[in-house]
């Protein structure tokens, strides 16, 4: 784990399950994390432009003590939200530090990633509903069947994007030397976080286009 923080914006691959490790890292940096009113911690189902604007407004407020810390965990960020964050990170409010936790950093705009320090923490979540290795070894019809757990909706008739993005990241790791497979994964991940994205056809396209490995 990296323990030296550089700059004001930081990027972590993972889900909200990485928060305890991040807080431990902050403690090592001499930052009190328990009952600290200057730590803003939120988990989002989808992080949109309005959320990004609210974060920027909060960052401009005066803290009660030392620096203010904003920790955001989100499975996906819309393109509009990323552009708002880009402006926020280019001209950060004095004393504000940002920690963005996402399952797939590669899905972020390159310009946004370039303004963030990458931190590595030990994974602690169990979001992997579909085994990427078994998926790649299966024929297309079996793959589509395997996708069903990722497409289930919760009581609010919404899908959790976290396991979907974790699955796509696992596929990417196993397809490092298979360019045509990577193109299919990148194509799905590019649109999957957008509002109104049709997840089922995007994932089925991956099932049909990624070669058997």
CB atoms under 10 Å from CB of 133, counted, come to: 12
Number of domains in the chain: 2
pLDDT grade, residue 172 (50/70/90)?
confident
**Residues 38-97: tens digit of each pLDDT:** 999 999 988 999 999 999 999 988 877 768 999 999 988 999 999 999 999 999 888 899
Q: What percent of the chain has pLDDT over 90?
A: 41
> What is the DSSP code string of 58-122?
HHTSPPSSS-EEEEEE-S-B-HHHHHHHHHHHHSPPTTEEEEEEES-GGGS-HHHHTTSEEE---
13 and 99 fall within a common domain: yes
Is residue 181 domain-resident? yes
Residue 204 bridge partners (DSSP): none
pLDDT of residue 1: 42
Query: Does the pLDDT at position 127 exceed 60?
Result: no
Q: Which residue has the tokens 């009952």?
A: 35
Is residue 2 domain-resident? no
113 and 158 fall within a common domain: no
- Nearest CA among 85, 104, 90 for reference residue 173: 104
150 and 103 fall within a common domain: no
Final residue of a structural domain among 119, 140, 157: 119
Domain that holds residue 163: 132-209
Instruction: End-to-end CA distance of the chain: give it in Å, rounded.
Output: 32
89 and 191 fall within a common domain: no
113 and 156 fall within a common domain: no
Query: Does the pLDDT at position 133 exceed 50?
Result: yes
């Amino acid at each position: 784990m990296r323990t030296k923080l550089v700059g004001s914006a930081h990027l972590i691959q993972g889900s909200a399950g990485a928060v305890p490790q991040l807080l431990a890292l902050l403690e090592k940096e001499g930052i009190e994390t328990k009952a600290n009113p200057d730590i803003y911690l939120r988990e989002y189902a989808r992080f949109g432009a309005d959320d990004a604007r609210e974060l920027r407004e909060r960052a401009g407020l005066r803290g009660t003590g030392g620096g203010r810390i904003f920790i955001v965990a989100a499975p996906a960020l819309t393109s509009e939200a990323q552009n708002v964050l880009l402006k926020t990170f280019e001209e950060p409010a004095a004393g504000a530090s940002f920690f963005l936790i996402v399952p797939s950093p590669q899905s972020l705009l390159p310009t946004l990633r370039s303004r963030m320090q990458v931190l590595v923490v030990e994974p602690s979540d169990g979001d992997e509903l579909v085994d990427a290795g078994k998926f790649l070894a299966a024929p297309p019809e079996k793959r589509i069947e395997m996708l069903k757990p990722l497409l289930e909706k919760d009581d609010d008739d919404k899908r959790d994007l976290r396991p979907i993005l974790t699955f796509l990241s696992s596929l990417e790791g196993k397809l490092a030397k298979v360019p045509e497979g990577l193109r299919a994964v990148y194509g799905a991940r590019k649109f999957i976080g957008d509002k109104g994205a049709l997840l089922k056809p995007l994932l089925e396209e991956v099932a049909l286009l990624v070669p058997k490995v």
